[in-house]
Homo-oligomer: A and B are copies of this chain.
Amino acid sequence: MSTVNLVSDEAADETARDVFEDIRSVRKTDFINNFWRAAANDSQEMKAVWEDIKRVMGPGALDPLTKEMIYIAVSVANACTYCAHSHTASARAKGMTDEMHAELMRVIGLAARTNHLANAMQVPVDEAFDKS
């Protein structure tokens, strides 16, 4: 179930169709996942998000796989079901092994544990950590 229509290739407007084509070309597959079919209801925003993804997720000071794992971490903490699924699949497609996935899970679980302890005890931030 979803709160919006999933837009087919036929129903897409020109901007959305162009993004569909670019996604297919960048990913070298015909498959368009549901996020983009939902996003196509507002093709201007869809295009802005897609351009952002290309700008941010490519190689740079961090490699694309590291970025995907960071993306998963945020998605899990935000309880985004769709994102946990889609970015875990992306990370695997970019070379995440079972061992790397296992370590990712460990770090996420540990961080959540200490996040909640720090929030519960309201630990005051040490002066030594300030950069401003």
Residues of chain A whose beta carbon lies under 8 Å from any beta carbon of chain B: 1-6, 31, 33-35, 38-39, 41-42, 45, 48-49, 52-53, 55-57, 60-62, 66-67, 69-89, 97-132
Contacts and interface: CB of A to CB of B under 8 A. Distances in A.
Given A4-B101, A80-B119, A70 B124 contact: no
Given A73-B73, A74-B74, A108-B117, 13 more contacts: A3-B121, A6-B132, A35-B114, A49-B114, A66-B69, A74-B77, A80-B116, A84-B120, A85-B125, A109-B117, A109-B120, A111-B116, A112-B112
Q: How many copies does the complex hold?
A: 6
Contacts of A89: 3, 128-129
Contacts of A106: 42, 45, 56
A92 B11 CA distance: 21
Nearest to A102: B42
Contacts of A60: 99, 103
